[in-house]
Structure 1
Amino acid sequence: MAEVRRATRDDAARVYDLIRSSTLRNAALPSEARARLFEPVWGGEEDYYGYVLEAEGEVVGFIGMLFTRREIAGAMRKFCELHSWYVKDEFRSESLMLLLPALSIKGMTLLNYTPSPEVYEISRKFGFAELEQEVLRILPVPTPGALRADLRVETDEAAIGSALTGSQLRIFEDHRGLDCRHFLVRRRGRSGHLYAIVKKMRVTPRQPVGRILYFSDEDRLVDALGWLRLYWSLALGVQCLIVDRAQLRVGARLPFAPTVAREVPSLYRSRELTADDLRVPLYSEPLLVGYALH
């Protein structure tokens, strides 16, 4: 009979072997990347990293849990992101044994940024709500704003870090060194700045896109977007930019930015936070190990 227990750092190699043979979209992750999921990160204090399903000494199932802490609306909150839920075919009837411990966690918001269609359906039955439902596909089409010459972009991380303070500096430091790009955008003759984090990813092998993960000021982003849509597309070598439609109040009015429904929405479950509190997809498992958020 299979048994469920907490996954510790000692299980990293066996979990890697299990997931590598799975049909999960992150199955091809190298062992070095998956090993990061078995280390404390971003303020997580728990000493385990999910649960394994074990039968006769063999790991036959796994659900990953990335524990993090981050500031939301001025208060530090605890999060548990579920990922990499997989069970071998002959043990599928026992899959829920892995999910139930996660559902019993108290005082944390549960997240799943990349659920499969099957995991989505199961999670909805257990009280998960939709998070990101639609994205804007911002095309690199020249608009009148593309002609402006008053914008300056800083990409040197040392210079960016020295210009940031408070929560922006914390976000920068927490995501420095990951597979994403940091930009500080200033407008000549105007004080202040726009700080943004953008990640190049691939929706398909031949469709690279730039995912706008974070922006410090919506008004400044929209003001500069006519120019940035071209600059970022060229700098990253992508076909378009992607951002959660709900993150931009003016999303419906942006030119050449069609709305695209996610095939499978991301999910959350929380007693205290709403979807609008969780729009920014930072501090996430896809970012930590380097694969697409959707």
Structure 2
Amino acid sequence: MVGAYVAFYSQRSVAGQSENFCNLAAWCVQDAYRSHGLRLLKALLDQPGYTFTDLSPSGNVVPLNRRLKFQQLDTTATLAVNLPWPRWGSGVRIIDHQASIETYLDVRDLQIYRDHARAPAAHHLAVIKGDRCCYVMFRKDTRKGLRLFASILHVGDVELFSEVAWHVRSYLLTRFGLAVTIVENRFVSAPPMLSVPLKSPRPKMILSSRVSPSQVDYLYSELTCVPW
């Protein structure tokens, strides 16, 4: 074997319609065979009836995707420092134990959680306040050689997450040792306190005639399955 293109397949509900997704992941070809690398990509994109996503394209892949009519997702994000924050009297509980998380999630988030419970890069929280629950999925990321970053991948209740973000960020620091949270604007109703815009958010891309960039999430992909 001299080359491979890894892809993750899933069937999702988008606006009430079933949609087949092919998420492009790692693309590796030995140097002597680089001229054949595009054949791997063409074989994937020639599959009929799929929405294609590329959620972690390397620098030289981004312009190639653009030439192939991929659209770029809006990944505008903020970088927020995690600080210890007391939860006494707040009514907020945060749970990361598998058996306990399942008892609080609604049907949709329960299915997502069970599908990703063993995904190597995914970490899970149930954030509870009163009778409301927000399911949060995140991954640990390394930037500038420091594995101190939490990247949010899924938020079940944007309003509640924004309300309790201080407590979530404190938990990420004290429980997981993560000093900074990267959260895209899609996951919050307002920028978190003590945050700054991320200057160079990593690009994410889609090729589809049926699904718009705003309808894409990061589930069932290398972001949940491959730690780096």
Do both share a fold (TM > 0.5)? yes
Q: Unpaired segments of 5 or more residues in structure 2?
A: none
Q: Percent identity?
A: 23
2:60 aligns to what SS in structure 1? helix
Residue in 2 that maps onto 1:7: none
SS in 2 for 1:159: helix
Q: Which runs of 4+ in 1 moved over 4 A?
A: 145-148
What are the equivalent positions in structure 2 for 1:62-211 lying under 5 Å apart? 62-141=4-83, 149-179=90-120, 180-187=122-129, 190-211=130-151
TM-score, with normalisation over the residues of structure 2? 0.89
Range that drifts further, 217-226 or 79-88: 79-88
Alpha-carbon deviation of 1:173? 0.6
Match of 1:9 in 2: none
Which structure has greater helix proportion? Answer: 1
Query: How many pairs does the alignment contain?
Result: 227
Offset of residue 260 of structure 1: 1.0
Identify which range, 157-166 or 269-278, moves more after superposition: 157-166
**How far did residue 117 of structure 1 move?**
1.1
Given that 2:162 and 2:189 are in contact with CA atoms closer than 8 Å, whether structure 1 keeps it comes out as no
Change in 2 beyond 3 A, CA 1:98/1:178: closer
Equivalent residue, structure 1, for 2:227 = 291
Distance 1:282 1:220, change over 3 A: same
RMSD across aligned positions (CA): 2.2
TM-score w.r.t. length of structure 1: 0.70
Hey, what's the Cα distance between the residues in 2 that align with 1:174 and 1:121?
33
Cα deviation, 1:181-233, whole Å, max 9, x if unaligned, reads: 2222222xx32211111222322432421122111111101111122221222
Residues 83 and 186 of structure 1: CA distance in aligned 2, closer, same or farther (over 3 Å): closer
After superposition, residues 237-252 of structure 1 pair within 5 angstroms as: 237-251=177-191
For structure 1, the residue ranges without an aligned partner over 5 or more in a row are 1-58
